Chains A and B, each alone.
Chain A
């Protein structure tokens, strides 16, 4: 029998994420924007949970909501001279809006023509164990490459931050 995602959690989480995204863009304060981003991350994590992607939800919270957002906040703090500088104009531009709208329309057109084979989600999905097993077997190579990428990024970040000695 067709199974679907529970509607109420979805609507709540969707609303939360939309709100967070909107506030990031529409916030006058950079610090506030960063916190709204945090909120958004949390909402996305919830969505992941809803979609039975438990591992991803964990990683989302650990990496994004944790490290990335903290990183952003650190940077904001380091690039502000005065506390007052956190307040800034909104910098909204019509061309950007136009493009975003056009992209939305295009995406909408694509979605509208989407005819999925099944419109339901099966009840049982592989768990974290299966995820892990697949990660180190089927997806082992990308996994290794991903670690190299992270290493490079780490080195690069250190370099650019001025660690040249």
Chain B
């Protein structure tokens, strides 16, 4: 079987969608962040795979993925700090209960 870019892309798509589903439906902020990680990782896979198959010498995809990792790390660091701050303020991380912007 030829494991070409299509295979990796399909895998990445699947992982992304699983992550999307979780991100949109989970009610715990921590779980949502986890699902967000799933999504970013899926994107990384896609980029690296395409770079390997299309422009192997420039490693463009790898660099893109590297910087995405940086941003994702920053994002999750801040996100979790937020979650902790929220928890301190509201004693809960249930997204359903955090609806002060309602109306």
Contacts and interface: CB of A to CB of B under 8 A. Distances in A.
A36 B83 CA distance: 21
Contact of A142 (B9, B10, B52, B63): B63
A96 interface: yes
Interface string B37-52: 1100100110011001
Interface residues of A, number: 84
Interface residues of B, number: 69
A91 B25 contact: yes
A126 B59 contact: yes
A51 B48 contact: yes
A99 B20 contact: yes
B69 A64 contact: yes
B5 to A, nearest CB: 5
Interface in A80-133: 88, 91-93, 95-97, 99-101, 103-104, 107-108, 111, 114, 116-122, 125-126, 130-131
Given A59-B69, A71-B76, A97-B21, 10 more contacts: A21-B19, A22-B18, A33-B34, A71-B77, A76-B30, A117-B54, A118-B53, A150-B70, A156-B78, A160-B78
26 contacts: A14-B11, A21-B15, A21-B38, A25-B19, A25-B21, A30-B28, A40-B38, A40-B41, A47-B45, A51-B8, A59-B66, A72-B34, A88-B28, A92-B25, A93-B24, A103-B16, A111-B9, A116-B4, A116-B53, A119-B5, A130-B59, A134-B59, A154-B77, A157-B77, A160-B82, A160-B85
